[in-house]
Structure 1
Amino acid sequence: MKQLAIILVLGILVYACSSGGKQDSESNSAKTEAQQPSDYDPNRGLGKFDNVDLGDKLDVQMANDGKLIADVKCASCHKYTEDRLVGPGWAGVTERHRPEWIMNFITNPDPMIDKDPKLLAQLEICLVRMPNQNLSDDDARKILEFMRENDGVN
């Protein structure tokens, strides 16, 4: 009897948290638009990086260092292909986002997840927030260079 009561309470909680499964996409888009402040720049994100100089060519050593860091800090949640693991795959990320946005997201994920409608939508798919890995600016730049290499930049 006690187990039945626990199951019933858990069922009610799940139902209440899910809004009965009756949220429409119109209310979702209105919600994400309302969460995006007027000073949020979707091309730059939130953080200290306003301009990231990538140089003319790929820095191979920096990309190699970035892969080593990513293998330790990122690969448990991200594949380097289009496939999703816990988080989205990395293929094409440097084509979809500006370098400043990527650097700001790598070093400052929480405020960006809270304010970027695309990240909020991604969170609904992945169900896990990207943790702040406390990467240095230099390590984040190396990961960005590896992402560029992963996307075919020479």
Structure 2
Amino acid sequence: MYKLSVLLVAMFLFISCGKKEQTGGDFSKPTTEDAAKPADASTYDPNRGEGKYDKVDLGATLDQAMATEGQKVAEVKCTSCHKPTDEKLVGPGWKGVTSRHRPEWIMNFITNPDPMITKDPKMQAQLEICLVRMPNQGLNDTEARNILEYMRKNDGVK
């Protein structure tokens, strides 16, 4: 009887405390935090996106040092899903991204993709093609700006 009681208690603890965490894979669904927020597309600005960047000043010419640093960050955090060409990998290719989107939109998206995927009709259409929701890579301001400069270099800015 004692062994049966111990076994039942152990099973109960295992079942009740064994919260399974999602460790990868399905980024097609918003996180619990995002799902709790209403997707109010009426206040969404498709030119700027959603985030803290209202104005991003780009130089008339490419900042080569920033682009080089951006390439390094992209190789660690981005190129497993994105190619610098127009070819889709997991996510869309980056070729021409700086001509399709304003710098503010790019900065807001790469630093905080979830609200934009939830509200932006173009991002929702892209999600239907790619089937994988872009995860937040936790980029800081400098990393994001350097990646933007690398994207500009990739698009032929000199």
Query: Which range, TM-score by smaller chain?
Result: 0.7 to 0.9
Which letter does structure 1 place at the counterpart of 2:150? F
1:100 aligns with 2:104: yes
Shift of 1:37: 1.8
Instruction: State the 4+ residue runs in structure 1 displaced beyond 3 angstroms.
Output: none
Shift of 1:36: 5.8
Secondary structure of residue in 2 paired with 1:38: helix
Secondary structure of residue in 1 paired with 2:93: coil
State the partner residue of 2:49.
Answer: 45
Report matched runs for 1:124-143 at 5 Å.
124-143=128-147
Which letter does structure 1 place at the counterpart of 2:130? C
Secondary structure of residue in 1 paired with 2:143: helix
The percentage of aligned residue pairs carrying the same residue is 71
Secondary structure of residue in 1 paired with 2:148: helix
State the partner residue of 1:62.
Answer: 66
Equivalent of 2:86, from 82, 85, 94? 82
State the partner residue of 1:19.
Answer: none
State the Cα deviation string for residues 61-118 of structure 1 (Å, max 9, x = none). Answer: 0000000000000000000000000000000000000000000000010000000000
Contact 1:36 1:116 in 2 (8 A): no
State the partner residue of 1:11.
Answer: none
- Taking structure 2 as the reference length, the TM-score comes to 0.75
Q: How many residue pairs align between the two structures?
A: 120
Which letter does structure 2 place at the counterpart of 1:132? N
